[in-house]
């Protein structure tokens, strides 16, 4: 495999033989090795997401590899760098910034052929992903729709079972 930056350069002629092992005539720093490991991990994850037709939030990626990235700022920047390297948006690669909301209450939703009733849920509702392409409300018995911007307020309202009060 020969990248554009190696065009016309024979990398084999730059290698040095040490015993039976061929080595490059330069050493990578620990930072370079760690960065390469992080980029490789992101690329592996993107391949897995693509093959399984899945999505994942930037935050979930950070927590999945917390020991590798150390801070979310590091993982976010590398994700953006990989997107630029590939020439695709995060959305096209199956990476979301964060959940775009949750829904709970007296309605029935069909997503990708599967029916879901958020009223039956025991948790905080159904996650709404910005990449949902096959999403429709099949039935609705709700008297009103309440839009809440902050997830903490939403969680508090769900804990108070506001969706079950008339």
Task: Check: CB of residue 153 under 8 Å from CB of residue 118.
Answer: no
Catalytic residue from among 63, 65, 153, 154 = 63
What burial class does residue 104 get, using C-beta atoms within 10 Å of its C-beta: 0-12 exposed, 13-18 middle, 19+ buried?
buried
What burial class does residue 112 get, using C-beta atoms within 10 Å of its C-beta: 0-12 exposed, 13-18 middle, 19+ buried?
exposed
How far apart CA 154 and CA 150 sit, in angstroms, is: 6
- Told to judge if 63 belongs to the known catalytic residues of this protein, a careful annotator would answer yes
Give the pairing type, strands 95-96 and 56-57: parallel
How far apart CA 6 and CA 26 sit, in angstroms, is: 16
Active-site residue set:
63
């Amino acid at each position: 495999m020969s990248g554009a930056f190696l065009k016309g350069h024979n990398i084999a002629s730059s290698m040095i033989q040490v015993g039976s092992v061929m080595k490059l005539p330069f050493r990578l720093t620990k930072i370079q090795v760690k960065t390469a490991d992080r980029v490789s991990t992101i690329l592996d994850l993107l391949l897995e997401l693509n093959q399984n037709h899945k999505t994942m939030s930037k935050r979930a990626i950070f927590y999945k590899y917390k020991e590798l990235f150390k801070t979310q700022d590091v993982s976010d920047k590398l994700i953006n760098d990989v997107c630029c390297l590939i020439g695709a948006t995060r959305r096209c690669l199956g990476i979301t910034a964060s959940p775009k909301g949750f829904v709970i209450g007296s309605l029935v939703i069909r997503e990708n052929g599967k029916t879901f009733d958020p009223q039956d849920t025991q948790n905080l509702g159904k996650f709404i992903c910005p990449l949902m392409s096959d999403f429709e409300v099949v039935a609705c018995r709700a008297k009103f729709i309440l839009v809440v911007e902050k997830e903490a307020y939403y969680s508090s309202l769900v804990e108070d079972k506001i969706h079950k009060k008339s």
